[in-house]
Amino acid sequence: MAKKRIVVLYGGRADEHSISCISTAGVLRALDTDRFEPVPVGITKQGQWIDVGCGVFASAACMDKHYTKVVLNAAGIPTAPGIMVDARAFTAADVVAQIEVAGLAYPLFVKPSRAGSSFGVTKVEHAGDAAELAAAVFEA
């Protein structure tokens, strides 16, 4: 079976450029190279790319974690279970109900849909931490 070639993007003009580079090194070490051929593509702190070319749809879909998951799942690529919550229109009870319906297990990680790397991540340890969960969703 032929290896799937995958592009691993890292770096960029974000505040977390160096974290992205470190994380990418871990991803590349952990990647099953019997199945995948990684093509690392670094983006400089000034935003310069060695390779360019994705269209508007691919670019837009990848800028939002929720829509990225929708596209990946539609293509048959599994993603981690999760829910999306609009912080402008939620109550803590609504979020807890969505978590229960989705069958998510604690600890939960709350993350902004459109922020990079580990920016804004909050870990909620237990189901009884509804106030912490609500605060994390509001902050994200």
Question: What integer pLDDT is reported at residue 18 of this predicted model?
Answer: 92
For β-strands 4-11 and 122-124, DSSP reports them as unpaired
Place of tokens 């999306």: 84
Question: What integer pLDDT is reported at residue 17 of this predicted model?
Answer: 93
Output the CATH code of domain 87-139: 3.30.1490
Question: What integer pLDDT is reported at residue 52 of this predicted model?
Answer: 61
Domain residue spans of the chain? 4-74, 87-139
* DSSP run (H or E) holding 67: helix 65-74
Question: What integer pLDDT is reported at residue 51 of this predicted model?
Answer: 63
CATH topology classification for 4-74 = Rossmann fold (3.40.50)
Q: Tens-of-pLDDT digits for all 140 residues of the chain?
A: 789 999 999 999 988 999 999 999 999 999 999 999 999 999 999 998 876 667 778 877 888 888 889 999 999 999 999 998 887 777 878 888 888 999 999 898 888 877 766 777 888 888 777 777 777 877 76
Question: What integer pLDDT is reported at residue 136 of this predicted model?
Answer: 80
Give the predicted TM-score (pTM) of the model: 0.54
Q: Is the dihedral of CA 64, 74, 84, 41 positive or negative?
A: negative
| SS3 at position 66 | helix
Residue type, 81: P
